[in-house]
Amino acid sequence: MAAVLARAFADDPVWSWLLPDEASRPRRLEAAFTILLREVHLGHGSSEHTGRFGGIEAAALWDPPGRWRTPLSAQVRQAVPLMRAFGLRLPVALRALGRIESHHPEEPHWYLAFLGTDPQAQGSGLGTALMRSRLRRCDETRTAAYLESSKESNVPYYEKFGFRVTRELRLPGDGAPPVWLMWRDPEGV
C-alpha cells in the first residue's frame, strides 16, 4: 500500500512542496507512507485496498471517530524514521501538519487521511469503490466524514460523494500550497 500511495501522491502539490527533490521524492514518499501505515493507520483496522489483477492498485486510509490524532507513543516511534524520510524538510512538514491538525473538527467523524490510486489504474473506479464502501457505513451509522484535499482538482471528485469545502487553508511557509478542508454529513440526515 505504501508504494501505491507513494506513486499516487508523487505529483501532489503539498507532497511536492514538502519533498521538492524529484529524484528522491519517490523513495521518501514510500518511506513516509510506510511509517504512517505501520504506526498510525493499520492499527485502526479500517484501512482498505483494492486492485483489479490480484495486486494492490488503490488504498484508502481511514481513521475511526475519535482516533485521528497520532498518540504521543507513536510520535516518538516515528521520530527517527521521519527524519530519514523528510531529511531537512522535517521541520517544515511538522509545521504544515500541525497547522492542518489545528483545524481538524472535534465532532465525531470518520477521517479519510489518504485515498490514492496507482497512476496506471486511475480512472478505473477503484478509488470510487473504496469511497463508497466506507461512506455507505458512515450513512448506516449516521456518522459524518472529513478529509483534507491537497489537490484542488480533486475537490469536485469529493463533492460528488457529498463532501463540501468548509475552508481553504493556507499552510505556513514560502510557496506553500493550500489545502481544502472538506466535511460530509451522513446521507439521510
For the segment 99-136, what is each residue's pLDDT rounded down to a tens digit?
998 999 999 999 999 999 999 999 999 999 999 999 99
Task: Return the H-helix or E-strand segment holding 105.
Answer: none
pTM: 0.91
The beta-strand segments (E) located in the chain are: 48-50, 58-63, 109-117, 144-149, 164-170, 178-184
119 φ, ψ (degrees, to nearest 5): -50, -35
Q: Evaluate whether the domain defined by 2-184 bears CATH number 3.30.360.10.
A: no
For the segment 43-98, what is each residue's pLDDT rounded down to a tens digit?
767 778 888 777 899 999 999 998 787 766 777 777 787 888 888 888 888 888 88
